[in-house]
């Protein structure tokens, strides 16, 4: 499903092997900027890149540091702390989770700089989804012996948006889940783009349709539960 925007994608998470070359589709649109992207998994080695990337955006979404979905109660900033201390607390917590292997995510690099992020993880790692009102009200069929994975956050550097980086991160996250044994993958995309960039942290419906996800249920007025099974 490549749209010809990328000259090459490489992945250096485990084997540093070259990923498949993108195919090019005939298009009448002008050729967008061609960038070279590299994919890495977030871990202790890549933490400094993630830290620099998120620090550039003040921890992202008001200092979350992508910790929100790790908590059943969905805490953004810890109560009782000064704002700057609460943001520093989230950064430290994220680092601890990464060090302990309890936080997963894909980093997309260009020119040696991390510019794209997709958080994924097994359901136990991202329990906030279970306690969300719209999700917990659903009558879901259950995992039926398969592992359940979640895709909870996308973030792209403000200087690299609208170039397909989020789509690159999504493809890489699915590759990574597949390499880790696969299972059912859940996504919760926004059904409207009207809220603009900040409202699209779950991604768009079309992003997941392009990767073969199917809609399962409405999640309130603004989101869908979409799923795909990876063997």
Ligand X SMILES: CC(C)(COP(=O)(O)OP(=O)(O)OC[C@H]1O[C@@H](n2cnc3c(N)ncnc32)[C@H](O)[C@@H]1OP(=O)(O)O)[C@@H](O)C(=O)NCCC(=O)NCCS
Footprint of ligand X (CB under 6 A): 60-61, 64, 66, 153-156, 161-167, 193, 196-198, 200-201, 204, 206-207
In the complex, minimum distance from the CB of residue 13 to ligand X, in angstroms, rounded to a whole number: 20
Instruction: Decide whether 8 or 143 has the Cβ nearer to ligand X.
Output: 8
Least distance in Å: CB of 218 to ligand X? 18
Q: How far is the CB of 195 from ligand X (least distance, A)?
A: 8
Report d(CA 177, CA 101) in Å as an integer: 15
Helix axes 47-56, 83-99, angle to 10 degrees: 160
Residue 52 or 143: the one with the smaller Cβ distance to ligand X is 52
**From the CB of 53, what's the least distance to ligand X, in Å?**
11
Q: What is the nearest approach in angstroms of ligand X to the Cβ of residue 142?
A: 28
Q: How far is the C-alpha of 11 from the C-alpha of 65, rounded, in Å?
A: 24
The dihedral through the CA atoms of 206, 18, 184, 69 has a sign that is: negative
CB of 153 to ligand X, least distance (A): 4
Which of 129-135's residues contact partners 24+ apart within 8 Å by CB, and which partners? 129/69, 129/186, 129/188, 130/72, 131/72, 131/73, 131/74, 132/74, 132/219, 133/220, 134/218, 134/219, 134/220, 134/223, 135/188, 135/219, 135/225
Closer Cβ to ligand X, 64 or 185, answer by number? 64
48 by DSSP, 3-state: which? helix
Q: Whose Cβ is closer to ligand X: residue 183's or residue 189's?
A: 189
**Cα 193 to Cα 202: distance, rounded to the nearest angstrom:** 11
**DSSP string for residues in 132-151:** SHHHHTS-----TTS-EEEE
Nearer to ligand X, 162 or 178 (CB): 162
Question: Among residues 110 and 176, whose Cβ is nearest to ligand X?
Answer: 110
């Amino acid at each position: 499903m490549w749209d010809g925007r990328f000259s090459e994608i490489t992945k250096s998470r485990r084997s540093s092997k070259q990923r498949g070359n993108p195919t090019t589709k005939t298009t009448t649109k002008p050729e967008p900027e061609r960038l070279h992207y590299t994919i890495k998994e977030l871990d202790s080695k890549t933490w400094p890149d993630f830290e620099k990337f998120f620090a550039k955006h003040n921890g992202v979404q008001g200092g979350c540091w992508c910790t929100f979905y790790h908590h059943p109660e969905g805490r953004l900033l810890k109560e009782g702390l000064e704002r700057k201390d609460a943001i520093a607390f989230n950064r430290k917590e994220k680092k601890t989770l990464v060090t302990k292997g309890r936080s997963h995510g894909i980093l997309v690099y260009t020119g040696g700089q991390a510019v794209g992020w997709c958080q994924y993880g097994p359901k136990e790692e991202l329990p906030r989804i279970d306690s969300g009102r719209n999700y917990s009200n659903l009558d879901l069929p259950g995992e039926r012996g398969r592992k359940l994975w979640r895709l909870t956050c996308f973030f792209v550097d403000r200087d690299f948006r609208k170039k397909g980086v989020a789509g690159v991160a999504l493809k890489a996250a699915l590759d990574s889940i597949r390499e880790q044994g696969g299972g059912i993958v859940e996504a919760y995309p926004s059904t409207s783009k009207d809220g603009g960039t900040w409202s699209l942290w779950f991604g768009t419906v079309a992003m997941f349709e392009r990767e073969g996800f199917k809609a399962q249920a409405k999640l309130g007025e603004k989101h869908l539960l979409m799923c795909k099974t990876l063997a």
